[in-house]
Amino acid sequence: MKSINLGNSGLKASAVALGCMRIAELDTSELEQLIDASLEAGIDFFDHADIYGGGRCEERFGEYLHTHPDVRDRILIQSKCGIRPGFFDFSLPHILHSVDQSLTRLQTDHLDVLLLHRPDTLMEPEEVAEAFTRLHQSGKVRYFGVSNQNPSQMALLQKYVPFKLIVDQLQFGPAHTPLVDSGLNVNIKSPLGTMYDGGVLEYCRLNEITIQTWSPFLFGFFEGVFLTSERYAGLTQTLGRIGERYQLSPGAAAVAWVARHPAKIQTIIGSTKPQRVRENTRGADVELTREEWYEIYRAAGNRLP
């Protein structure tokens, strides 16, 4: 699988990453098969969060690393912090505590990347800067980024944080396209012209911040998987037809659609099925034509101006 640069950090990572939000439900054999299949498919980047499975997902991954000690040096591990029951928390004590807990659960001495999960409107950027500095100096975190943040939020944070933010994790996929809609409908009086994110796609490209897309197969905000939804039957059919040209499944064609964007977006897939991981990762190495990309975009119900 091809690799992409993570920001300007010098880190190279697989164009497709495995999201580990649901691995707590797997037994030991199933977990081993999933991670082994991911590694065989070329995935070397694994995405976690302290809240996934109430911490159990990190624990399960740590159990795998404990029994496969040769794997840690071959992969990159990312985790996220900041979501707590009923509120968000970017305070210094919570960030430091969360990372220590994640490292314990993952049975590793460092995270390659730490992301702040969802924006905390009570954030004190000086506190975050202090937390990041302590974590970096202690060797516990190598690089930092954010998730679900707009340009102004990142610019505010970057003013104080002495480390370049390298990632912004955002929802994006063929059935969830606000990231590109407003840019395609500039100065158009249309719902698609409404800018919900402050132009984050262009901001990230200008500032060498890698966009990671979460839940690329969902529509809406956790409303469902579009591949099995009658509402998006036309989109699935189009992905299937275009995918056949490249011997890709509809899911893999959706990965190819994300990968085709010149922003060099990293796709995070959350499947727990080894065969599906093998199938979907193949999409990252296929470059759709410009016509095919727009055909898929329109098949989701989007109209071009």
Task: Give the Å distances, CA to CA, from 244 to 174, 238, 247, 300.
Answer: 17, 10, 5, 18
Fold of 1-298: TIM Barrel (3.20.20)
130 Cβ contact partners less than 8 Å away, ≥ 6 residues apart:
92
Collapsing DSSP to helix, strand or coil, 286 comes out as coil
Among candidate residues 24, 80, 96, 16, the one with its CA nearest the CA of residue 48:
80
What integer pLDDT is reported at residue 224 of this predicted model?
85
Query: Is 52 part of the annotated catalytic residue set?
Result: yes
What integer pLDDT is reported at residue 220 of this predicted model?
74
List the pLDDT tens digit at each of the 305 positions of the chain: 999 999 999 999 999 999 999 999 999 999 999 999 999 999 999 999 999 999 999 999 999 999 999 999 999 999 999 999 999 999 999 999 999 999 999 999 999 999 999 999 999 999 999 999 999 999 999 999 999 999 999 999 999 999 999 999 999 999 999 999 999 999 998 888 999 999 999 999 999 999 999 999 988 766 789 999 999 999 999 999 999 999 999 999 999 999 999 999 999 999 999 999 999 999 999 999 999 999 999 999 999 99
**Backbone φ and ψ of 20, nearest 5°:** -105, 30
What integer pLDDT is reported at residue 223 of this predicted model?
75
C-beta of residue 47 within 8 angstroms of C-beta of residue 296: no
Task: Give the Å distances, CA to CA, from 105 to 48, 52, 57, 59, 208.
Answer: 11, 12, 9, 4, 31
pTM metric for this prediction: 0.96
Task: Give the Å distances, CA to CA, from 77 to 114, 145, 189, 214.
Answer: 9, 13, 43, 16
